[in-house]
Amino acid sequence: MSLTAERTTVVGSFAPATNREAVEAAASVPASAPAVEVRLDALSEPPALPALRDAFSGKLLLATLRSAREGGAFAGGEEARVSLLAEALRAGFDLVDVELSSPGGRGLHGFPPDRCVASFHDPSGVPRDLAGIARELAATGAAFRKLVVTAGSSADALAVLTLQRESTDGRLSAFAMGEPGIATRVLSPYLGAPIAFGSFVPGRATAPGQLSVLDLSEVYGIGRRRPVDGLLALFGGLVSHSFSPALHNGWLESAGSALLYVPFALRSLVSELGPLASGLWDLGLPLSGASVTIPFKEEATLVALFGEGSVANTLLREGEAFRAANTDQPALRGLLPAASPGAAALVLGAGGTARNAVEALLFRGYEVDVLARNPERAAELAAEAGARAVAAPRAAGAYAVVVNATPLGLRPGDALPLPDGFLSEGLLVVDAPYRPGGTELVRRARLRGASTVDGFALLAAQAALQATLFTNRPCSARDLVERLPARLRRDFEVTT
């Protein structure tokens, strides 16, 4: 039976520094968030409660004064906090957040239960007795219950999702903060969570791992009808920056697929894949495949019973086992021109992405040099692939293609991975990292007249091949990009 999250109310959460900032932000709340949480604890001045109520007119409004012990900024005493929450209710706020751990919290400080969100937050980890805490929250009689912990692994995420699945009265929202908790923010609504929190001011998430309101709705189908009967996963060390969920989910939904693509941050693919797949099956969310990204592309070949090659970026469920596949290399091959006689290429890096680049370039007929910070790894890669490890690049103009297979460029302010003087007309620069608006390397290369293949193009090309494998339906990079929300599609445009 398919699951949906259409009954979940998306709550836009904002922690304003001033009343004016909160009032000005009210106009930016998307229609997909019928409710708003104002984190009053973040204010540097007394809250103008009537003005805030007026600013968010038409929205269900929640007042929160998160204590420091639960990860917030409220430094006042308990009497002052209760007084402010009472004032918020009098000013017309619909709900107030009451921390279970506060003195009087179990009695909701005498507030009407139908106007309370009883909450528990652990910013340090996952308590042992989650079920006991859930029972204490239920005993308050509050209209909504919120149990939030900090996940350090996929096992923590599974524990939270299992708790959510076992709650049947439609009042508990259990999820986790942190990178490994991102999956719980997506999946708890499909398991019955009545509310889901997201940011609506860019760059202003109110908790680690919090997704945006627009991503919750547009990418993951929360708050609207989007039937789901199985999962595809993104496995990586860091997944919050990835565009893959948006690329895949838009196309999956348009194709009528009931698969949902969800990011899972792991510490070890080898040790976590089995328990995670088993746990998801028990939740009624079977895992049918996965994309694999840094740093697990080499581990992916170890967890699969079938497949070829030393690195893989795709896992496909076949019965009780997984088959490994590599769409990175064929995607890159398709974007590279055939080499002219004697043409040379330089690959920067020595990891899984570099290996794919070396093999793709050799396939297209290039002489390949490998340059990396770790000379031993560069030498090992070159020897295994049939390339040449170098301690320094050849002279400017000696290469027809340069591939940046390092993480340099992911973060603003990163240094260029090669000297500016190498960038000129006639050079093809392939940059694996991607950033909205393009990396500094891609922007600089275009200004110098070089041709470029940016990380977005690589991502879309390999994702299209993955989508075909996941669904057995033909899919092109254009199919994926055209089905992105317009706000995200703009990020594929390189600005110079």
Which backbone phi and psi does 432 adopt, to 5 degrees?
-70, -40
Radius of gyration of the chain (CA): 25
Question: Closest by alpha carbon to 63, among 98, 28, 106?
Answer: 98
Residues 6+ positions from 208 with CB-CB distance below 8 Å: 150, 177, 178, 179, 181
Q: Is 297 a catalytic residue?
A: yes
* Distance in angstroms (rounded) separating the CA atoms of residues 480 and 245: 11
Q: Which residues does 142 contact at the CB level (< 8 Å), separation at least 6?
A: 98, 108, 113, 116, 117, 118, 171
Partners of 150 in beta bridges: 177
How far is it, in rounded angstroms, from Cα 234 to Cα 214?
20
Q: What is the DSSP string of 297-346?
A: TTTHHHH-SB--SS--SEEEEETTEEEEE--HHHHHHHHSPPPPTT-EEE
Amino acid in the structure at residue 430: V
- Compute the distance between CA of residue 179 and CA of residue 266 in angstroms, rounded to an integer: 9
How far apart CA 484 and CA 480 sit, in angstroms, is: 7
Residue with tokens 């879309």: 460
Find residue 200's DSSP bridge partners.
none
> Going by C-beta distance under 8 Å and a sequence separation of 6 or more, which residues neighbour residue 451?
427, 428, 429, 445
CA angle 143, 146, 150 (to 5 degrees): 180
Q: Which of 59, 297, 355, 435 is catalytic?
A: 297
Please list, residue by residue across 412-451, b when 16 or more beta carbons sit within 10 angstroms of its beta carbon and e when fewer do: eebebbbeeebbeeebbbbbbbbbeebbbbbbbbbeeebe
Going by their DSSP bridges, the two strands 367-371 and 388-389 should be labelled as parallel
Positive or negative, the CA dihedral 474, 291, 303, 288 is: negative
Vertex 31 angle, CA 29 and 32, to 5°: 100
The neighbour count for residue 390, using CB atoms within 10 Å, is: 16
Amino acid 365 reads G
Beta-sheet pairing, 314-318 with 287-292: antiparallel
Residue 14, helix vs strand vs coil: strand
CB 202 within 8 A of CB 20: no
Give catalytic residues, as residue numbers.
297
